[in-house]
Amino acid sequence: MWRASGQLFVHVARKRILSGPWDRPAAFMSTLLINQPQYAWLKELGLREENEGVYNGSWGGRGEVITTYCPANNEPIARVRQASAADYEETVKKAREAWRIWADIPAPKRGEIVRQIGDALREKIQVLGSLVSLEMGKILVEGVGEVQEYVDICDYAVGLSRMIGGPILPSERPGHALIEQWNPVGLVGIITAFNFPVAVIIAKVLEDNKLPGAICSLTCGGADIGTAMAKDEQVNLLSFTGSTQVGKQVALMVQERFGRSLLELGGNNAIIAFEDADLSLVVPSALFAAVGTAGQRCTTARRLFLHESIHDEVVNRLTKAYAQIRVGNPWDANVLYGPLHTKQAMSMFLGAVEEAKKEGGTVVYGGKVMDRPGNYVEPTIVTGLDHSASIVHTETFAPILYVFKFKNEDEVFAWNNEVKQGLSSSIFTKDLGRIFRWLGPKGSDCGIVNVNIPTSGAEIGGAFGGEKHTGGGRESGSDAWKQYMRRSTW
């Protein structure tokens, strides 16, 4: 597996440099958080003032130096030197050489290496979770949960290493049988956000097992590195997680060379509550799904459809619940809601709120930037819009929940499906017939179809992904492993 921090992540990082405190005195800028006593734990992860953003068995990097900022206070954490084009080419070469060694290791033995990686992550789960919280703005429990998900997927992969098989099928030829065999697809490029300390941990496990570190390589880079990877015929599968706009560009470049791509793109997710719904479930579920990670999850609930008979009561309850959300530093264990990742995200939030007002919406809660350091905005509820309003059909990566009234099942199922994305969806009802219709061919057209639970919080045991402009890719459980394999029939 070969990972690269590509255009989505680094594009954001560059914007943060531009939007950061460039007008502060040089003396302040030299005081990185990593050098402050309360953040000494960062050095436990191997971080330094300036970190090398390339790993292919050895650490390096000859590209631009970028600075990462804490979104809770916009103070600089540390710096990373990115990959150059030459670094990329060297890394691909070493990764392909490493793959030949990795492919000769029996699958259960490879599973044992993955188990060790999971155990190494477990040992650092709290400090890694704290880093996610500090760097990304997620509340601490979500940061730790992100690392836990990585651990869980390692556990799942260990089981798969002893279970993947192929069927034996009847043959038309006498005395013969057909056999299907699955083999690894080869070199996998992954464009994603990828933290340096996780790479350090994986590298240590590979080193302890006398395996080449390039088995899991890292190249932090910008659009140049991401584009090179997408066009590179040496990359057998390219996985991209990010916006639909960038994902489409990636897919076209990969398709141009008849390569394989795996896309996890945007979501415009809806919760539907019918007249028989348990409101004690609806309100906390809508809140959790809408404001978790400050609305910056691909599975965040952005639309809430309420039957006309319960609309006013739910909005009233939800508004009161929003008023009780505890906002603060994301690494405070008692905080539920942290900052947006960048100042650009704040601008998009404000732009979406203004557009919603222009299209006839009423802000019943929030809608403003908060008067405090960092990238904080108020969690926001908007009512009164038409379900077809253009802003409703635009995914805004921010904590804005659009609320609508509906009259009947056919109407609201159609509204759920009318957006271009198809990631996650949920209904709240006690009607078993309605539940089965929701799960059936005329129900939700999303990849994740929930009942009486939020749109967010997917489990790794099931295949994760969506339809339409969400990309169609599947990750994690079920048979998602097939995305990373090729099949031979003999």
161 phi, psi to nearest 5 deg: -60, -20
Q: First-to-last CA distance in the chain? A: 27
* CA–CA distances in Å: residue 44 to residues 34, 128, 171, 191, 435: 11, 10, 59, 26, 49
Residues taking part in catalysis: 264
Distance between CA 152 and CA 159 in Å, rounded? 11
| DSSP bridge pairs for 273 | 306, 428
Distance CA 451, CA 432 (A): 10
Cα atoms found within 13 Å of the Cα of residue 251, Cβ hemisphere only: 17
Q: Are 467 and 447 in contact (CB under 8 A)?
A: yes
For 152, the enclosing helix (H) or strand (E) is: helix 140-160
Structure tokens at 424: 């996650």
- Written as six digits, the tokens of 402 are 């659009």
- 3-class state of residue 262 by DSSP: strand
The span from the CA of 231 to the CA of 238, in Å, is 10
CA 22 → CA 40, 74, 80, distances in Å?
24, 11, 17
- Which amino acid, one-letter code, is at 297? R
